[in-house]
Structure 1
Amino acid sequence: MSPIEQLISNFQELVAHVPEIVQPFIIMLAGAIPFIDGEGAALIGIAGGVHPIVAGVAAATGNFLCVLLVVALTSRARTAIVDRRPSPVGVSGGSGARPSVDGAAFQETATANPESKGRQRFNRWLVRFGVPGASILGPLAIPTQITSAILVGGGTPRRWVLLWQAIAIVIWTSIGTVAAWAALTIVVGVS
């Protein structure tokens, strides 16, 4: 038995101690973690001995539920910020107790932090392919949770973001599930 087969066998024995009804929920939690997303969670589930379809569905569900939460929170934050933005004539909006923010000072603060390579790549995809392309290609650069926060924070409607993030999650989790199953079954020889 190769070291990889032994490692997977030991992991499957560990997972076998967890009740079967709880295993998909653990995969869902893994899918909610940025950078693991649905693809990584499906791999974890399949390596643990969970049926590939159950692992894929649980991973995608966990990933989408986290994206849904991020979209809801980002949308509320954006609404709160936009509602407090000073009006064009200089009258402060919102509660009136807050001082207005100088636009030049805000722009200076916003550009003080350089963008990461993943964020730059994502922005290029967003300009070139729009929300559908950025949602589907986004996981190649950054996690789906961050992609959805960027899109909603930029003003894209929540439903549009959720629709395309759901499509992207299904696509990438399906690819990850099939790849993990094939790698473990065909290449490694573990079932």
Structure 2
Amino acid sequence: MMNPFQDLVLNLQALAAQVPELVQPLIVMLAGAVPFLEGEAGSAIGMIAGLHPVVAGVAAAAGNFLSVLFVVMLTSRARTAVVNRDRTRVGVTVGAGGSSASDHDETDAAFEQITSAKPESKGRQRFKRWLVRFGVPGASILGPAAIPTQFTSAILVGAGTPRGWVLLWQAVAIVIWTTLATVSIWAALTFVVGV
């Protein structure tokens, strides 16, 4: 007699069998690209659906990394636009009369008060502590324990960390976390569930 989890796994495998084999890893890649699911849950979905653990892990990690790459490029462009706009505004303000400079200072001060009044989430606070303590490599590797890799990469690039450095350490973190999850889930499915 099967337990409910075995029945669920077998039903999911039967559903996945209706999808062409070449498309199954693409579905796992899409799952890996979703924040909070990422490579860890993506590989679990793939293995439960019947994919080989290596294929599921690689597809999920690739999807996770592609979404991080997209976020890094988007955040980098946004940061560059803001920095360039601020430099232009400072140049214009310096050349203008003194009254407009004080107006901008008052506006900036009011904006700072509004944005600093919003409380940060516990995950973001934990991530910032890790960033200060361990730097970009440590924060990237430990970050997925607090917040998704997409958020981690956006914070790092938004703070001015070079894109290449962020992508390197996010790739390392994705490989580590996805491998740990894939091996753990494979062991659980093999030895505990018996599927």
Q: TM-score, normalised by structure 1?
A: 0.92
Partner residue in 2 for 1:95: none
- For residues 189 and 77 of structure 1, the distance between their equivalents in structure 2, rounded to whole angstroms, comes to 49
Q: Which has the higher helix share?
A: 2
Deviations 1:71-113 (Å, cap 9, x if unpaired)?
0000000011111113289338xxxxxx956331231122021
Partner residue in 2 for 1:136: 141
Does 1:113 find its partner at 2:113?
no
Does 1:124 find its partner at 2:129?
yes
Per the TM alignment, residue 173 of structure 1 is displaced from its structure 2 partner at its CA by 0.3
One-letter amino acid matched to 2:17: A
Deviations 1:10-45 (Å, cap 9, x if unpaired)?
010000000000000000000000000000000000
Alignment of 1:150-161 (within 5 A): 150-161=155-166
Partner residue in 1 for 2:49: 48
One-letter amino acid matched to 2:158: G
Q: 1:147 aligns with which of 146, 152, 166?
A: 152
CA separation of 1:189/1:7 partners in 2, compared to 1, >3 Å: closer, same or farther?
same
CA separation of 1:150/1:182 partners in 2, compared to 1, >3 Å: closer, same or farther?
same
RMSD of equivalent CA atoms: 1.6
Deviations 1:110-161 (Å, cap 9, x if unpaired)?
2021100000000000000000000000000000000000000011000000
Partner residue in 1 for 2:60: 59
- For residues 29 and 94 of structure 2, the distance between their equivalents in structure 1, rounded to whole angstroms, comes to 47
One-letter amino acid matched to 2:115: A
One-letter amino acid matched to 1:57: V
Does 1:90 find its partner at 2:93?
yes
Indicate the SS of the match to 2:34: coil
Partner residue in 1 for 2:14: 13
Partner residue in 1 for 2:40: 39
One-letter amino acid matched to 1:90: T
Q: Where in structure 2 are there 5+ consecutive unaligned residues?
A: 96-102
One-letter amino acid matched to 2:140: S
Indicate the SS of the match to 1:54: helix
Q: TM-score, normalised by structure 2?
A: 0.91
Partner residue in 2 for 1:70: 71
One-letter amino acid matched to 2:174: I
Partner residue in 2 for 1:26: 27
Larger radius of gyration: 2
Q: Which structure 1 residue ranges, 4+ long, deviate > 2 Å from structure 2?
A: 86-92, 99-103
Indicate the SS of the match to 1:87: helix
- For residues 83 and 68 of structure 1, the distance between their equivalents in structure 2, rounded to whole angstroms, comes to 22
